[in-house]
Amino acid sequence: MARALAPTHDLLLGGRDRDALDGVAAELPGARPWPVELTAVTAADVAGIDRLGVLVHSAGVATLGRIEETPAEVWRRTMEVNVVAVAELTRLLLPALRAGAGHVVLVNSGSGQRANPTWGSYAASKFALRAFADALRLEEPGLRVTTVYPGRVDTDMQRGVREQENGAYEPDKYLRADSVARAVLAAVTTSPDAHVTEITVRPSAGPAN
């Protein structure tokens, strides 16, 4: 995502892993690391961000299991990372987004459109994320809000999911991360008269959720 946006944007790279942030920032002119724990972000963390053109939410966690096997702490953690952290960071950055007539992009999932067995807590969080995006879009007409629904993507998170499913990891059947990034870039660079509210991207082969 950062590499796709770098040619047209100055970037703040937010996340916990300072070494990873430094590595990406070093290769992208105009990018700088923004070490932050997204589930504990405060007003102090966003101090000095006065104008923001684009906010991309792409962090997430997925713990699979049948509902009868999923304890409350899994539901709480999933909601905290996938929904509450997104809502709070967006809330804190609303003044900067308004100042920049900004664009909020939420990387959702096919699980935000339908729920499958063993995906209950994750799907519930993604349905909630979809509702958050819809409400934000209506409450903040000066902003553009885009939800992106990718299918399976070749990422470390996907490796963890396939381990939980006891399945083989088949990257050729998944989307490339840069393919999802291009979809985000297309939404962000759409002319000002257009508002891309939703994008669904599926692999050309393989499982779709």
pLDDT in tens, 18-38: 999 999 999 998 999 999 999
Which two structure tokens, joined as six digits, stand for 88? 């709070």
In a domain, residue 207? The reply is no
Domain housing 20 = 1-35
Number of domains in the chain: 2
Separation between Cα atoms, residue 110 and residue 149, nearest integer Å: 5
In a domain, residue 96? The reply is yes
Tell me the Ramachandran region of residue 170: left when phi exceeds 0, alpha when psi lies from -120 to 50, beta otherwise. Answer: beta
Average pLDDT, the chain: 94
204 CB-contact burial (10 Å; exposed 0-12 / middle 13-18 / buried 19+): exposed
- 132 and 188 in a single domain? The answer is yes
Strand, helix or coil for residue 144? strand
Separation between Cα atoms, residue 52 and residue 47, nearest integer Å: 12
pLDDT at 155: 85
Q: How confident is the model at residue 208 (pLDDT cuts 50, 70, 90)?
A: very low
Which two structure tokens, joined as six digits, stand for 29? 């002119």
pTM for the predicted model, two decimal places: 0.92
In a domain, residue 41? The reply is no
**Where residue 111 sits, what CATH number does that domain have?**
3.40.50.720
| Catalytically annotated residues | 122
Which two structure tokens, joined as six digits, stand for 155? 């990422």
Q: Are 145 and 106 in contact (CB under 8 A)?
A: yes
Q: How confident is the model at residue 205 (pLDDT cuts 50, 70, 90)?
A: low
Separation between Cα atoms, residue 176 and residue 195, nearest integer Å: 25
Average pLDDT over residues 105-113: 96
DSSP at 177: H
In a domain, residue 133? The reply is yes
pLDDT at 156: 85
Which two structure tokens, joined as six digits, stand for 18? 């300072």
In a domain, residue 58? The reply is yes
Contacts of 189 (CB under 8 A, 6+ apart): 8
In a domain, residue 57? The reply is yes
pLDDT at 159: 86
For helices 120-139 and 72-79, what crossing angle results, to 10°? 30
In a domain, residue 206? The reply is no
- 106 and 170 in a single domain? The answer is yes
